[in-house]
Amino acid sequence: MNNTVETPVLQLKRLTKHFGDVIAVDDVSLNIVDGEFLTLLGPSGSGKTTILNMIAGFEFPTSGDIILQGKSINLLLPEKRNIGLVFQNYALFPHMTVSENIAFPLKMRKAPKAEIKARLVDALSLVQLDDYGKRYPKQLSGGQQQRIAVARALVFEPPLLLFDEPLGALDKKLREHMQLELKRIHTRLKRTMIYVTHDQEEALVMSDRIAVVNKGRIEQIGPPDELYEEPANAFVAGFIGESNLFEGVVTGGKGDRIALTLNDRVEIMINWRERIAVGEKVRFCIRPEKLFFVDDAPADNVISGTITESIYVGETKRYSIRVNDELSINLREMSTLTGMGRREGDHVRIGWPDESVKRLS
Amino acid sequence: MASAMKNSIIFLSQPMALFEKKITMNQKQNGMAGKIILGIFTGIVFIFLVIPTILVVPMSFTETRYLVFPPEGFSLQWHQEFFTNKKWVEPTIFSLKLASLTTVVSLIIGTMASLALVRGIIPGKRIVHLFFLSPMMIPLIVTAFAVYGMFANFHLIGTLPGLVIAHTIIGVPYVILIITANLYRFDTSLELAARNLGANSFKTFTNVTLPLIKPGIIAAGVFCFIESLDELVLVLFLVGTTRMTLPLRMFSEIEFRIGPTVAAASTVFIIAAIGTIIALSFIEKKEKSIGLKE
Domain ranges of chain A: 8-239, 244-359
Tell me if B78 sits within 8 A of B264, measured CB to CB: yes
Residues in chain A with CB shorter than 8 Å from the CB of B197 are: 79, 104-105, 108, 152, 156
pLDDT for the residue A345: 84
Comparing B233 with B3, which gets the higher pLDDT? B233
Q: Quick one: pLDDT at residue A78?
A: 94
**Percentage of chain B modeled with pLDDT above 70:** 88
Q: Is A77 on the interface with B (CB under 8 A)?
A: yes
Closest CB to B197 among A89, A95, A105: A105
Could you tell me the fold of the domain covering A244-359?
Answer: OB fold (Dihydrolipoamide Acetyltransferase, E2P) (2.40.50)
Q: What is the pTM of this model?
A: 0.79
CB A258 within 8 A of CB A237: no
CB contact, 8 Å: B217 with chain A? Answer: no
- Residues of B within 8 A of A157 (CB-CB) are none
ipTM above 0.90, yes or no: no
- Rounded mean pLDDT, B238-265: 86
B213 vs chain A: nearest CA distance in angstroms?
11
User: CA separation (Å) from B44 to A215, B19, B20, B33, B49?
Assistant: 62, 14, 15, 17, 8
B242: nearest Cα among B184, B180, B160, B145:
B160
Query: Within the 187-206 window of chain B, which residues sit less than 8 Å (CB to CB) from chain A?
Result: 187, 189-190, 192-200, 203
Instruction: Identify from A79, A82, A141, A161 which residue to disrupt to test chain B contact, counting B C-beta atoms within 10 A and taking the largest count.
Output: A79
Check whether B209 has a pLDDT greater than 60: yes
- Does A8-239 carry CATH code 1.10.443.10? no
B194 neighbourhood in chain A, CB within 8 Å = 93, 104
Average pLDDT over residues B27-31: 58
Tell me how far CA of residue B42 lies from CA of A52, B17, B36, B157, in angstroms. Answer: 53, 12, 10, 43
pLDDT tier at B111, thresholds 50, 70, 90? very high
Of A79, A91, A94, the CB nearest to B199: A79
Q: How far apart are CA A38 and CA A140, in angstroms?
A: 29
Model pLDDT, residue A296? 65
- In this prediction, residue B292 carries a pLDDT of 64
- pLDDT score at B3: 47
pLDDT at B23 exceeding the cut of 60: no
Contact call for B200 and A77, based on CB within 8 A: yes
Q: What is the pLDDT along chain A (361 residues), one digit of tens a residue?
A: 444 456 789 999 999 999 989 999 999 999 999 999 999 999 988 999 999 999 999 999 999 999 999 899 998 999 999 999 999 889 999 999 999 999 999 999 999 999 999 999 999 998 889 999 999 999 999 889 999 999 999 999 999 999 999 888 788 888 888 898 888 889 888 899 999 999 988 999 899 999 999 999 999 999 999 999 889 998 999 888 888 888 888 888 777 778 888 877 777 778 777 777 888 888 888 999 888 888 765 566 788 889 998 888 888 888 999 988 888 889 888 877 655 667 888 888 888 888 888 888 7
Residues B178-200: what's their mean pLDDT?
A: 93
In A144-203, the residues whose Cβ lies within 8 Å of chain B are 152, 156
Average pLDDT over residues B160-168: 94
Greater confidence (B113 vs B215) lies with B113
Q: How far is CA A259 from the centre of its chain?
A: 35
* Cα separation, A199 vs A40, whole angstroms: 10
Q: What is the mean pLDDT of residues B182-200?
A: 93
pLDDT (mean) for B107-118: 94
Partners of A212 in beta bridges: A41, A220
Is the omega angle on the peptide bond into residue B70 within 30 degrees of 0, that is, cis? yes
Report how far apart, in Å, the C-alpha atoms of B212 and of each of A22, A140, B115, B204, B293 are.
35, 19, 13, 11, 10
Q: Dihedral through CA A253, CA A257, CA A261, CA A263, nearest 10?
A: 150
